[in-house]
Amino acid sequence: MGLISAVRRELFYITELRRLLGALKSITPDSETLTPDLIEASVDTHAKRIAFLDEDNRAITYAEFDAYANRVANWAVAAGVEPGGTVALYMGNRWEYVAVWYGLTKVGVIAALLNNQVQGQALAHGVSISGAGHLIVEGALAGQYLTARAALDGKVQVWTTEGAQGDIDGARDLDAALGGASGARPDRSRRAHLRAKDPCLKMYTSGTTGLPKAAIVAHTRALYYLQVFGVAAKARPTDRMMMVLPMYHATGGLCGVGAGLSFGGAVIVRRKFSASRFWADAVETKATMFMYVGELCRFLVAADPVREEKKHKIRVAIGNGLRPDVWPRFAERSGIGRILEFYGATEGNVGLINLDSKPGAIGRVPPLLKKRFNIKLVRFDVEKEEPVRGADGRCIPCKHGEVGEAIGEIRADDARYRFDGYEDQEATKKKVLTDVFAQGDRYFRTGDLMKADAQGYYYFIDRIGDTFRWKSENVSTNEVAEVMGVHPHVIQANVYGVEVEGYPGRAGMAALIVADGFDLDALHAHVQRELAAYARPLFIRLHKETPEVHTTGTFKLKKADLVKEGWDPAAISDPVYFDDAEAGRYVPLTAEIRADIVSGKRRV
């Protein structure tokens, strides 16, 4: 990059970040401005404008949205839910979902946004740890709720919609209750005692293992998420946000929804994502913004081209997890002029944003503004899964290009630096690193490995626990997946480590979804050419199902079950192949080959 280009880049970033931080500077822990105040202000300014387009493209105005939320607020008061109490929501994507939690916040009640993909033990656990006395179950999910009913009977009052109360013993009709509630805005005195540092929502995160944890989302965080991406994208009342991500998650339910509602725009709500319908839907609804996660973009790239790909009006895509191997293909196929990739976590205090759409980067901290950001990268021991400390007991900062764990300084006096933790105090303690650079300092552990270059661009490497060691080297599953993902016939690559008897560490295994024309020998040549010997997957598994089957409700790749299944061909229904060094190609993994590897007869 030449001097003039570098100067332009710095001026752009400094100008944009100052504009961004300036627009959000009023969000302080002790502020009296709460989440419902922000939304009510938008309602009052844009009452007659369209706030939502539902699944049938029916328009709901800001005034109608607010009236529904007011009925929810007045219902909660009549039901005896006190300020500070919790109501759990088990609902799918619909405009009423936002109206329900918004209405609850009007009277100081906290909404626990349950993952609508879980059921049984996980659902019962989520409701229990929320502390909710009331649970709202959407009619379409009544059947799923019944899988958890035995564990919840008598512990929570269930309210259902769409006439489903007859399906659940003891459930009450929410639609009827709201029909009899006033649509008038409740007096603000019911929340006047609260400040922005107080809880607004509870959202669920499971990390890499275990049952869900309830993360506390304070008003400071909700206010930030609802506005930051709209400010970055210069959102305006004429914008329409395409929302296909689940609303129980912060990326869709706060960041995406907020980019529309906080600025007078509309949110196009879809129950689920459809790669085949997406572009036609975007054209029909006149979408101008799109909230993504990386795998969703991969699905769009893998789908057959359609003429609407270049006829839509989407001017900006906002999201996270867009891999470097997918980025250029998605940009070319979609024709979207600006991609705002960001990094963040529901409960975390580390946030980055890639304002100039540099492919592959998750954000940038300009050297001149480094003191305005709390992120640090520290050296990390992959085998011990903990930061490396020097002789003085302190963590060691990473150099440019060096991979380390991203951590964020915790400070209670700054909304961006706060870590409000989980309902589970032990889980909260595990995420806090102390005495990092000085006695008594505290940092939030992101659990993510990153690297940064000299210009301040940050790059995601892998989740801790996903990176593994093989042949005395660290292997990043994310980087290997990126290399395999650029192969023209690989639709999806899910890379993980599996234990091999007699060998330290874990060997690489890749579960692939491939397109017609896929050739194992061509893939082998690609992998041999692009990856170091230690990083090449030893085993290849070819999935038979579509990509969506192997992603979570938030479009993250499923790995835990694949790791458990390992590399035994007798226990796996999919075809499995072994990188045979003698043959110089992938060969079917047979019971005999597995036995030879386990016995040591065949070295790998």
3-state secondary structure of 73: helix
Would you state the pLDDT for residue 206? Answer: 60
Q: What is the DSSP string of 459-520?
A: EEEEETTT-EEETTEEE-HHHHHHHHHTSTTEEEEEEEEE--TTSSS-EEEEEEEE-TT--H
Contact 183, 70 (CB under 8 A): yes
DSSP code string of 512-548 = EEE-TT--HHHHHHHHHHHS-GGGS-SEEEE--S-GG
CATH number of 31-347: 3.40.50.12780
> What integer pLDDT is reported at residue 554 of this predicted model?
67
| Contact of 289 with 259, CB cutoff 8 Å | yes
Distance between alpha carbon 147 and the CA centroid of its chain, in Å?
A: 26
Which residues, in sequence order, are bridge partners of residue 22?
Answer: none
Q: Which residues of the chain have pLDDT under 50?
A: 207-209
Q: pLDDT by residue (tens digit) across 301-319?
A: 988 899 999 899 999 999 9
> Where in the chain are the domains?
1-28+353-409+434-465, 31-347, 466-599
CB-CB contact of 443 with 432 (8 Å): yes
> Which residues fall within 8 angstroms of residue 175, CB to CB, at 6 or more apart?
161, 162, 163
- The pLDDT of residue 381: 92
Place of tokens 């009619």: 139
pLDDT score recorded for residue 345: 85
Tens-digit pLDDT profile for residues 319-373 = 999 988 889 999 999 999 899 999 998 888 999 999 999 999 999 999 988 888 9
Q: pTM of this prediction?
A: 0.85
Please give the structure tokens belonging to residue 430.
């595990």
507-514 and 490-498 as β-strands: parallel, antiparallel, unpaired?
antiparallel
Count CB neighbours of 173 within 10 A: 16
Q: Between β-strands 539-542 and 507-514, what pairing exists: parallel, antiparallel or unpaired?
A: parallel
Domain 466-599 carries which CATH code?
A: 3.30.300.30
Write out pLDDT tens, residues 395-444: 999 999 999 999 999 998 888 899 988 888 888 999 999 999 999 999 99
